[in-house]
Structure 1
Amino acid sequence: MATEREMSMSFGRAADLYEQGRPDYPPEAVAWMLEPVRRPGHAVRAADVGAGTGKLTRALVDAGAETVAVDPDAAMLATLRANVAGVPTFVGTAERLPLPDAALDAVVLGQAWHWVDHAAASGEVGRVLRAGGVLGTVWNIRDASVPWIVRLTEIMHGSNAERMMRAGDPPLSSPFAGWESRTWTWARPVDRAVLTAMVHSRSYLITAGDAERARVDAEIADLFDEIGAVGEALVALPYVTKAFRVLRP
């Protein structure tokens, strides 16, 4: 099995599948993360860290934020630039941000905080945020109250994000303390191709051997047949979006 480092750096090998298979973020979740730093006549200056193909970047731009995107994988950033015009991109990590001190109103991470060194990332985010700026983290998690979702997760294995969510609030270090949180439930209409891309965009599958990938493909094919995800037929893929925010002192 791949190491956590190998898994965290694997997504560029499946950037197109990630873009196709992963859901966007609910606009209300993004608005809630930015709410503490909005003020009349001021455009929020934000960084999307662990930006990937730009799922959260797009939502930040749509919310009116002046946005830069940071990711450790140049292949993911290339896909982001193809899908989100005009956003500056930088290779970097939450632990080493290529951004100046106190330059930002908001730093947000989508599907990413579970990959970082929380103490180092907290300190580095604290460096680039102005006093009163906000750190926001958000995850789209498949809704495990739905039986076929439980079966899907068993087939393709759970993720680090799901394990973190079960353990409680995400870890956090100085200069931050005390997350606020909100949850939204919703569903994404998807067909079989999108469902398959979602499965194949996960780090466990990207780094798996041929035999394991073949097993997963066979089992998800049976499951998708059972739930009616055949051809272009749409099924509802249920999600729980969990967002967290905390202000820099």
Structure 2
Amino acid sequence: MTEDRDYRELAVSFGAVAAEYDRGRPGYPDELFDAVERIWGRGLKGARVLDVGAGTGIATRLLAARGAEVVAVEPSDGMAAQFLASSPALPLVRGTGDDLPFHDASADLIGYAQAFHWTRPERSVPEALRVLRPGGALATWWNVHDETVPWVRARAERLAAALPGRYRGYGGISGHTRHFAPAGLVVERTVLRWERQVTVEHVLTDLTSRSYLASLSPEERAPVLAAERAAMAVEFPDGVVAEPFTLDLTVAVKPA
């Protein structure tokens, strides 16, 4: 029960840092959506897409720009309010991946940008299958800090030491995809690499929005962020960071 309570605490922590999330989190390169279309075998233009766990709408806006008829699904009050402020022209429905508020066979693609690990796959996969049309697809993706780069790995080590039992690196998708094949989905995974050029302060804003810090009080976060600011000032004296990511994408297609 304690683990489940901690999980729920982390899951709802984003609402309090929704503005930081919207400002700080990375977007996604065009290559991500190219890969979704390639693996799925059809284009996003004109497709009925649900962006589940949409947060502040970072992926929703990019999907809409690709021509998708996208609807955001978000449970958090704070994140939904920021979504409506940032993307007032895009539709938003309150709900979760474990209980999708949509009719059977009503969507072509269900995407989970940085969000599938906040669902219970034993619930969310059957829900996706119910809502997807034949030939539709479930797509999960994560921007993951690339710890093969020394400064990123050093930061992860500092955070693990500062936040024992709270900071967790990316654990991969394998624990979730075991639910896909028994459901009859045809699964393909790919990993992309990309980077963004941002300031040190931008990186710190992003860190503030991560669940391991967002779930702390501002007073608890402050020394961790101060230590990171000092370390990054040494690493990047000009204040500009080339921040590297791996983008972990899995697309699971429902048979037609």
Instruction: Return the TM-score normalized by structure 2.
Output: 0.87
- 1:182 is matched with 190
- 1:25 is matched with 28
Deviations 1:199-237 (A, max 9, x none): 10011111125664233123202211111155xx32101
- Asked if residue 129 in structure 1 is aligned to residue 137 in structure 2, the reply is no
- 1:38 is matched with 42
Shift of 1:178: 4.5
Looking at structure 2, the residues matched to 90 and 190 of structure 1 have their Cα atoms a distance apart, in angstroms, of 32
- Asked if residue 245 in structure 1 is aligned to residue 248 in structure 2, the reply is no
- Asked if residue 172 in structure 1 is aligned to residue 179 in structure 2, the reply is yes
- 2:214 is matched with 206
Which residue type is aligned with residue 238 of structure 1?
A: P
Looking at structure 2, the residues matched to 222 and 198 of structure 1 have their Cα atoms a distance apart, in angstroms, of 16
Check 1:154–1:39 CA distance in 2 against 1; reply closer, same or farther (3 A cut).
Answer: closer
Deviates more, 1:192-201 or 1:29-38: 29-38
Check 1:171–1:122 CA distance in 2 against 1; reply closer, same or farther (3 A cut).
Answer: same
- Asked if residue 90 in structure 1 is aligned to residue 66 in structure 2, the reply is no
Q: 1:139 aligns with which of 142, 146, 155?
A: 142
- Asked if residue 75 in structure 1 is aligned to residue 72 in structure 2, the reply is no
Instruction: Return the TM-score normalized by structure 1.
Output: 0.89
Looking at structure 1, the residues matched to 99 and 175 of structure 2 have their Cα atoms a distance apart, in angstroms, of 26
* % same residue: 33
Deviates more, 1:152-161 or 1:129-138: 152-161
Q: Is the 8 A contact 1:132 1:248 kept in 2?
A: yes
Q: 2:227 aligns with which of 206, 219, 225?
A: 219
Q: Is the 8 A contact 1:48 1:57 kept in 2?
A: yes
Deviates more, 1:202-211 or 1:7-16: 202-211
Give the aligned CA root-mean-square deviation in angstroms.
Answer: 2.3
- Asked if residue 103 in structure 1 is aligned to residue 106 in structure 2, the reply is yes
Structure 2 counterpart SS, 1:20: helix
| Structure 2 gaps, min length 5 | 161-165
Looking at structure 1, the residues matched to 91 and 73 of structure 2 have their Cα atoms a distance apart, in angstroms, of 9
- 1:66 is matched with 69
Check 1:159–1:122 CA distance in 2 against 1; reply closer, same or farther (3 A cut).
Answer: farther
- Asked if residue 228 in structure 1 is aligned to residue 236 in structure 2, the reply is yes
Which residue type is aligned with residue 205 of structure 2?
A: A
Which residue type is aligned with residue 247 of structure 2?
A: T
Shift of 1:159: 5.8
